[in-house]
C-alpha cells in the first residue's frame, strides 16, 4: 500500500505508464479476492466498505425487480447495514419480512418457506452473525428457493464470515456476496461485492464508468491493493486459521464456564470460531468493556456499527432476558490470538466481574 501511495500513484483510468501500472495492480487484487469465493474476477466489484456492498446489492435488486414483486425476505438479526436498508425500502413500498430466530440465533427453514411468495424478489440472509457467531444454513436456504422454483435473488452479508468460514459462492448457492476489508486485517474503508455473472444489478454510481461501469469514481488503489493482499493471505493460511481461532475461543470459553459463576453463553455450540458472546449476570457489559479496555483488552457489547444503540436487537430476537442482554460481552478472535493471551484475559475478566458484582451487591444493601 505504501508503494502505491508513494511510487505507483497513477490514476488507473489514465493511459500513461503510471496509470497502467495501477490498473494492473487492481486487476491482480480482483483476482485475489475472487479466489477466496471461487468466482470469476469479473464478478467482483470494489466498494467503499461492507455497508456500501450491502446497500448496493439490496437497493440494486429492488430497483431492478420492483415491478416484478415487492417482497424482500431477511432476518431479525441482520447487521444494521441490512436492517436499516430494508427499513428504508419499506418506506418506498417494499414488503419486507423479517424472519425470527430460535434461542441459538438461527432461522428455521420452515419460516422461510412460509414467507416465500411468487412476488419475492430478494432473500438477504447473513452467513455468520456478527454478535453471536451463529452460522446461518445458507445451503438449506438455497434448496428451499429451488424447491419453490423461486426466482428471488439470494444475497448474503458474509462480512463476518470472510476468512473465518469456507466461502464458496457456488457451493453456498448465493447470487451476491458482501465482504469488507478490515474483517480480514485489510485496510478500513474498502469492501467488495460479488455479483453472479448474468445477474442484472443497476449501476450504483454514475460518472466515468469505473468498475466496468458499475461504480464510477476514481478507484482507491491503495485500499484495493491492501484488500487483495489480505485476501491472498487468508487463502494461504487455509484451515490453520480456523484451528487457531477455535483453540483460543474454546480455551477462554472453558475457563469462563469453570471459573466464573452465573454466566450464559449466547449462540450455538458449533458457531463460528471467531466469536464468543457471554452474559455475565449481575454485571453491566459497558462497565466490563471499559475495565478490560484499561488493561489493553478490546471487547464489545455488540456490533461496532451500532455501539450507541440501546440493547442488542440480536439477543432480544433470541429471547434473552433483560439481565442477560445487559451483561452480554462479545469476544472476537483472530488467527493471531493465542491461548497465553486468553490467560491474561481471564485474569482481568475475573477481577472485573468480581469487583462489579460486589459493588452492585453493596449498593443494593444500601
The single residue listed with the C-alpha cell 453463553 is 265
Among 228, 191, 334, which residue's Cα sits nearest to residue 1? 228
The helices-and-strands tally (H runs, E runs) of the chain is: 13, 10
Instruction: Please report the sign of the dihedral spanned by the C-alpha atoms of residue 286, residue 345, residue 189, residue 271.
Output: negative
Beta carbons of 8 and 22 less than 8 angstroms apart: yes
Q: Is 305 a catalytic residue?
A: yes
**Which contiguous run of DSSP H or E holds residue 165?**
none
Cell numbers found for residue 246:
477455535
Beta carbons of 129 and 160 less than 8 angstroms apart: yes
Q: At a CB cut-off of 8 Å and minimum separation 6, what does 220 contact?
A: 46, 48, 189, 190
**Among 49, 305, 334, 344, the one annotated catalytic:** 305
Among 105, 238, 266, which residue's Cα sits nearest to residue 164? 238
> Residue 56: phi, psi to the nearest 5?
-60, -45
Beta carbons of 197 and 43 less than 8 angstroms apart: yes
Catalytic machinery residues? 305
Amino acid at each position: 500500500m505504501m508503494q502505491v501511495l508513494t511510487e505507483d500513484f497513477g490514476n488507473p483510468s489514465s493511459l500513461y505508464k503510471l496509470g497502467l501500472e495501477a490498473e494492473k495492480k487492481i486487476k491482480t487484487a480482483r483476482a485475489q479476492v475472487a479466489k477466496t469465493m471461487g468466482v470469476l474476477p469479473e464478478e467482483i466489484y470494489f466498494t467503499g466498505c461492507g455497508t456500501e456492498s450491502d446497500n448496493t446489492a439490496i437497493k440494486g435488486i429492488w430497483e431492478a425487480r420492483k415491478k416484478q414483486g415487492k417482497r424482500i425476505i431477511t432476518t431479525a438479526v441482520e447487521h444494521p447495514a441490512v436492517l436499516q436498508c430494508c427499513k428504508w425500502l419499506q418506506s418506498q413500498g417494499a414488503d419486507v419480512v423479517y424472519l425470527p430466530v430460535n434461542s441459538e440465533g438461527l432461522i428455521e427453514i420452515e419460516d422461510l418457506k412460509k414467507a416465500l411468495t411468487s412476488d419475492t424478489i430478494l432473500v438477504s440472509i447473513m452467513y455468520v452473525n456478527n454478535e453471536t457467531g451463529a452460522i446461518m444454513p445458507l445451503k438449506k436456504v438455497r434448496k428451499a428457493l429451488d424447491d419453490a422454483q423461486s426466482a428471488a435473488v439470494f444475497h448474503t452479508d458474509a462480512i463476518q464470515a470472510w476468512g473465518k468460514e469456507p466461502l464458496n459462492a457456488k457451493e453456498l448457492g448465493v447470487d451476491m456476496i458482501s465482504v469488507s476489508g478490515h474483517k480480514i486485517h485489510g485496510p478500513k474503508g474498502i469492501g467488495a461485492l460479488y455479483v453472479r455473472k448474468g445477474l442484472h444489478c443497476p449501476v450504483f454510481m454514475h460518472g466515468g464508468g469505473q468498475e466496468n461501469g458499475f461504480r464510477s469514481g476514481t478507484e482507491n488503489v491503495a485500499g484495493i491493493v491492501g484488500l487483495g493482499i489480505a485476501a491472498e493471505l487468508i487463502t494461504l493460511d487455509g484451515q490453520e486459521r480456523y484451528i487457531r481461532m477455535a483453540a483460543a475461543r474454546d480455551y477462554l470459553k472453558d475457563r469462563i464456564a469453570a471459573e466464573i459463576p452465573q454466566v450464559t453463553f449466547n449462540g450455538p455450540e458449533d458457531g463460528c470460531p471467531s466469536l464468543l458472546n457471554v452474559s455475565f449476570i449481575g454485571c453491566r457489559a459497558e462497565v466490563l468493556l471499559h475495565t478490560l479496555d484499561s488493561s489493553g483488552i478490546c471487547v464489545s457489547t455488540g456490533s461496532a456499527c451500532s455501539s450507541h444503540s440501546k440493547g442488542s436487537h440480536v439477543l432480544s430476537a433470541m429471547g434473552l432476558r433483560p439481565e442477560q442482554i445487559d451483561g452480554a460481552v462479545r469476544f472476537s478472535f483472530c488467527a493471531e490470538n493465542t491461548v497465553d493471551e486468553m490467560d491474561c484475559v481471564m485474569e482481568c475478566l475475573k477481577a472485573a466481574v468480581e469487583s462489579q458484582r460486589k459493588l452492585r451487591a453493596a449498593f443494593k444493601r444500601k
